[in-house]
Chains A and B, each alone.
Chain A
Amino acid sequence: MICASEIALKIASRVKGTVTFTHQHGCTQIGQDLERTFDTLVRIACNPNVAATLAISLGCESVDTERFIKQIERTRKPVVMLGIQEEHGSRRTVEKGIAIARKMVENTARMKRKQCDLSELVVGLECGASDAASGIAANPALGVASEMIIREGGTAILSETTELIGAEHLVAKRSATPHVKKRIYEIVGRMQKKIETMGVDFIGGQPTPGNLRGGITTIEEKSLGCIHKAGNAQIQEVLEYGEKPRKKGLIIMDTPGHDVESITGMIAGGAQLIAFTTGLGTPVGSAIAPVLKITGNPRTYRTMKEDMDINAGTIIEGKETIECVGTKIYDEIIRVASGKRTKAEKHGHHEFAINRIGPSL
């Protein structure tokens, strides 16, 4: 909850092996908007990457803290909630929180690593700070990797509904069932209506000023480049924001083009890893899942090498094929899923944002 952010940060900074994130929500929210915050936070705690959860509440927020704990307990993972008012203030909550978190880390350290099948892997596909190179190089290469994961029985989530606008007919053609096709048009129509209520052209918001600088002129152009991340597999299911996939294979989740909100939604849905393509470069990471950066722009790979994991700029330079870079991405995804740290992890980037439906009251 927002009022507990600083206390959560203080606890995490003093207990090695823990991570936290801050957010603006959990209070003065109602209806679906409150449910979305609640569900996202619960599902984040249920993500397979999380071993145990220490939740900090203020004690008077809109989120039902008892129901919150009960839902996480269903995973049989340890969860404790500390209320700041109940613990008599900041200092005592931090002290008690540190003790609980240390115990959780100790217990987790005793757990043994177990080999998992690739069919258990859920990879979230994301693109951000895109330029024209994303659509030509990085996204088609990630598409090759996505198809390889799906062939092994794994799952890939294509997100960012805004970036289906103008390309939905191509994606809808690959629907596994008529219902999936209907759902694709439904979420795109819903997103378009939402944008239209603002009464102005999308441009500037989508494409962003950075996209425009990078040579992407229209939302259609951006979308047509974006969908290459998913390769050519059939779409099995369309999910709401933060929902857990019921099917395996290629899935679409209704998230906005806002990178951090989109990533947060996919991680809430159970993605253990995010494969993120970029043109102009972005440092974005997550406290919960490793974020693997792939750039299709050779210049960005040189200038932002410390933030980029894979150089797909070699495709534009004519040094490597799309298939070759795609295989490299696939191999790196396996390595990261097996514990290798990404650049964003090494930097400690922990961006987090829940997509809102309603206003703060």
Chain B
Amino acid sequence: MQKRAKPRERSQGTFIVINAKDNVAIALNDIERGTPLRLQRSCHAVNIVVKQRVPFGHKFATERIGKGQVIRKYGETIGKATKPIRIGDWIHTHNLKSIRGRAPH
């Protein structure tokens, strides 16, 4: 079951990391490009600058993710990165693809 991370507020950015295994965070408001955020992990903090505008409910990377690597939300696989993703990059259809919902080859 999902654990709710405490949303941390820095300037205009509120967000949530649903599961400790996740490499994405979810914006709880529209976060503008360049907004600095601070993500508290269990024993260290990560500074993140949001690289593109992230609308409410959308995802951004909390770790570097290589092309072909798995993207995790709810502690589970939601697809694979189609290009290298930097910390703070907005994640959506331009850099994340489903593994299951594909046409047969």
Interface residues of A (CB under 8 A from B): 131-133, 135-136, 140, 165-167, 170, 192, 195-196, 198-203, 206, 212, 214-221, 224-225, 228, 232, 279, 297, 299, 316, 318, 322
Mostly, the B contact residues are: loop
Chain A CB within 10 Å, residue with most, of B18, B73, B99, B102: B73
The smallest C-beta distance from A134 to any residue of chain B, in angstroms, reads 9
Specify the chain A residue showing the minimal Cβ separation from B104: A196
Please, which residue of chain B has its CB at the minimum distance from the CB of A169? Answer: B76
Known A-B contacts A217-B59, A220-B77; A201 and B102 likewise in contact (beta carbons under 8 Å): yes
Asked whether A135 lies within 8 Å of B96 as measured between CB atoms, the reply is no
Q: Is the CB of A220 within 8 A of B55?
A: no
A-B contact pairs, 24 of them (CB 8 A): A132-B58, A136-B2, A166-B98, A192-B100, A195-B101, A199-B104, A201-B101, A203-B98, A206-B101, A212-B93, A217-B59, A217-B79, A217-B93, A218-B79, A218-B100, A219-B101, A220-B78, A220-B79, A221-B73, A225-B74, A228-B2, A279-B57, A297-B56, A299-B56
Give the nearest-CB partner of A200 in chain B: B103
Asked if A220 contacts B58 (CB within 8 A), the reply is no
Q: Is B28 an interface residue (CB 8 A)?
A: yes
Can you list the 3 inter-chain pairs with the closest CB atoms, starting with the nearest? A132-B57, A215-B57, A202-B101
**43-61 of chain B: CB within 8 A of chain A:** 55-59
B residues near A167, Cβ cutoff 8 Å: 76
Indicate whether B37 reaches chain A with its CB closer than 8 angstroms.
no
Question: Which residues of the other chain, A, contact B97 by a CB distance below 8 angstroms?
Answer: 218
Q: Are B59 and A220 in contact (CB under 8 A)?
A: no
Instruction: Give chain B residues whose Cβ lies under 8 Å from the Cβ of A232.
Output: 1
Q: How far is the CA of A166 from the CA of B98 in the complex (A)?
A: 9
Expressed in whole angstroms, the Cα–Cα distance for A121 and B59 within the complex equals 38
Decide if B83 is an interface residue (CB 8 Å cutoff): no
On whether the beta carbons of B98 and A218 are closer than 8 Å, the reply is: yes
Q: What is the CA–CA distance of A219 and B77 in the complex, to the nearest angstrom?
A: 11
> B1, B57, B97, B101 — which one has the most chain A CB atoms within 10 A of its CB?
B101
Q: Which of A212, A214, A218 has most chain B Cβ within 10 Å?
A: A218
Shortest Cβ gap from B63 to chain A (Å): 17
A-side contacts of B41, CB under 8 Å: none
Q: B99 — which chain A residues lie within 8 A by C-beta?
A: 166, 218, 220
Check if B39 is an interface residue, CB within 8 A of chain A: no
> A136-B16, A215-B59 are contacts. A199–B103 as well, Cβ < 8 Å?
yes
Q: Which residues of B contact A196 (CB under 8 A)?
A: 103-104
Nearest residue (CB) in B for A206 is B101
* Nearest CB of A to B95, in Å: 9
**What's the Cα separation between A299 and B55 when bound, in Å?**
13
**Minimum Cβ distance to chain A for residue B26 (Å):** 6
Cross-chain contact of A201 among B57, B91, B98 (Cβ < 8 A): B98
Contact between chains at B26 and A166 (CB < 8 Å): no
Q: Are A215 and B55 in contact (CB under 8 A)?
A: yes
Known contacts A133-B57, A201-B98; decide if A215 and B26 are in contact (CB<8 Å). yes
B7 interfacial by beta-carbon distance below 8 Å: yes
The answer to whether B92 touches A217 (Cβ under 8 A) is yes
Contacts of A322 in B (CB 8 A): 4
The residue on B at minimum CB distance from A131 is B57
Instruction: Report how far A279 CA is from B26 CA in the complex, Å.
Output: 15
Please state if A203 and B101 are interface contacts (CB–CB under 8 Å): yes
CA–CA, A132 and B98, complex, Å: 16
Min distance, Cβ B55 to any Cβ of chain A, angstroms: 7
**In the bound complex, CA of A268 to CA of B14 (Å):** 43
Q: Are A140 and B56 in contact (CB under 8 A)?
A: no
A206 to B1: give the CA distance in the assembly, Å.
Answer: 24
A167 to B73, CA, bound (A): 12
Whole-angstrom CA separation of A64 from B21 in the bound complex: 56
Smallest distance from the beta carbon of B19 to chain A beta carbons, Å?
10
Say whether B58 contacts A166, CB under 8 Å: no
The residues of A that contact B76 with a CB separation of less than 8 Å are 166-167, 170, 220, 224
Rounded to whole Å, the gap between the CB of A130 and the closest CB of chain B is 10
Residues of chain A contacted by B74 (CB below 8 angstroms): 135, 224-225
The residues of A that contact B56 with a CB separation of less than 8 Å are: 132-133, 215, 297, 299
